[in-house]
Structure 1
Amino acid sequence: MNILVAGATGKTGQLLVQDLLDKGHKPTALVRESSDTSDLPEGVDLRHGDLTDLSSGVCEGMDAVIFAAGSGGSTGPEMTNKVDRDGAKKLVDLARAEGVKRFVMLSSIGADQENPQGEMANYLEAKHAADEHLKASGLTYAILRPVALSDAGRSDETVLGEEVEKSAEASRADVAALLAEAAVSGRFDGKALDMQSA
């Protein structure tokens, strides 16, 4: 499958594109002109595009799209809204326009709330808006909502759905593996699932 990955240069994104390559698929990294792509695995194609100003055609020729991007923890609400909300929504619209078969969204635990509270409220509001836009788009979708991310390796198993403990952790390696599986297998089509490493 030809799979576009937004956020491919991030920690989770790098693991994700390697996982897709290992499974025999063809990942294409959506990157800004200024992005450092030196850590991407060999065999990953590049397609230039900025999530704050996407142009038509970025999803051309793709069977699936995975949104694994984020504005980063050090940016303010404005950039969070531009990337995590508006950028994600625009990518959904462009994927639909190109007839992409499946869209996989990396979201966050708590993004199912309409009115989140606390210091993460803006981030969760942005993720919630993006998730709801995807659900309403008509695209075949899967949404993964992990708990706090860690750099631990692959675990023996993962927990999905209602059994997830909000105080647990999810390794980026496990998240990447599940995003790849969601994109290529259809196992999670039409689902929005909380997730943790066991």
Structure 2
Amino acid sequence: MKVLIAGATGYLGRYLCVEYARRGHHVTALVRDTARAEGLADLLIEGEATRPETLNGIMDGVDLVVSSLGITRQADRLGYREVDFQANLNLLREAEAAGVGRFAYVHVLNADAMAGVPLVDAKTAFVEALHASDMLATVIAPTGYFSDMGEILAMARKGRVWLFGDGTQRLNPIHGADLAVAIADATDAGRGWVGIGGPDVMTQDEIARAAFTALGTSPRITHLPDTLRRATLAVLPVLPRRISGPARFFLTALGLDMVAPRFGTRHLTEHFATLAAEVER
């Protein structure tokens, strides 16, 4: 099977390339700069999903498109509507024209509860367009990535972790390699919607304590009133998009339980231990 990965140079995209190749598929990676992606896939195609003219013909003969394309942290002048929605819509339209068999998209868990957050609204709008298409679709809604949990470890390394509320909100983030396996399983099985998380459900407090344990230091956790989180969310829209966009997403998610069916073999405690050991070298 021929698989095209969009967002291939991102945290999850690299694992997707590895996993589909491991299963014996021919993998094409859509990248903005081939110099950054050497050895990533069987074939590298340079293009920008925000510019549909660069996508012409790239999906001829492709059986499956998997897109993890999106903005997590604002890095350039483009917004969520231009990337998370329109760029993915450009990919979908090219896939339709090429007769691709299935389009898989990485969404976010609890999107309904985060309506009004620009990042989530853009992703939801694309999912609606995908479901309105005749294209067979697989939508994957993960709880969060291990890479996001690095912020907790970074705070612990500075000596204190700051949490909103009482720290009892639960989540089971997933490692990118495990999520790639889950996505490939879902597309192989032709599933339509998959909520997915890692093997361990932990409270925010437990995650903070795990970070201190990995560092070999005593836990120092400060719980801020949740009203402060909500007040911050209220004023964020007036700040520049590069600041307010990521903050609105993460602060909203922090107020929710982000728990989905458990999957994978990689544990957050082990991930923290590995990161702590790498810094000590």
TM-score (norm 2): 0.58
Q: How does 1:12-31 map to 2 (within 5 A)?
A: 12-31=12-31
Matched, 1:186 2:189: yes
Question: Which has the larger share of helix?
Answer: 2
Aligned mate of 2:52, from 39, 54, 75: 54
The RMSD of aligned alpha carbons is 2.3
Q: How does 1:33-44 map to 2 (within 5 A)?
A: 33=33, 36-38=36-38, 40-41=39-40, 43-44=41-42
Q: Specify the alignment match of 1:161 in structure 2.
A: none
Q: Which runs of 5+ in 1 are unaligned?
A: 153-164
For residues 147 and 35 of structure 1, what CA distance do their matches in structure 2 show? 31
Matched residue type, 1:49: G
Q: Which runs of 5+ in 2 are unaligned?
A: 149-168, 200-281
Matched, 1:116 2:115: yes
For residues 76 and 123 of structure 1, what CA distance do their matches in structure 2 show? 15
Q: Report percent identity of matched pairs.
A: 27
Matched residue type, 1:116: A
Q: Secondary structure at the match of 2:36?
A: coil
Aligned pair count reads: 177
Which has the greater radius of gyration?
A: 2
Aligned mate of 1:132, from 117, 128, 132: 128
For residues 110 and 68 of structure 1, what CA distance do their matches in structure 2 show? 17
Q: How does 1:154-165 map to 2 (within 5 A)?
A: none
Matched residue type, 1:186: A
Could you list the per-position Cα deviations for residues 122-178 of structure 1 after superposition, in whole angstroms to 9, with x for gaps in the alignment? 0000100111111111111100010111159xxxxxxxxxxxx97321221121112
CA 1:100/1:114 → structure 2, altered by over 3 Å: closer, same or farther? farther
TM-score (norm 1): 0.80
Q: Which has the higher contact order (CA 8 A, sep 6+)?
A: 1
CA 1:151/1:63 → structure 2, altered by over 3 Å: closer, same or farther? same
Q: Specify the alignment match of 1:157 in structure 2.
A: none
Matched residue type, 2:140: L
CA 1:35/1:83 → structure 2, altered by over 3 Å: closer, same or farther? farther
Matched, 1:150 2:146: yes
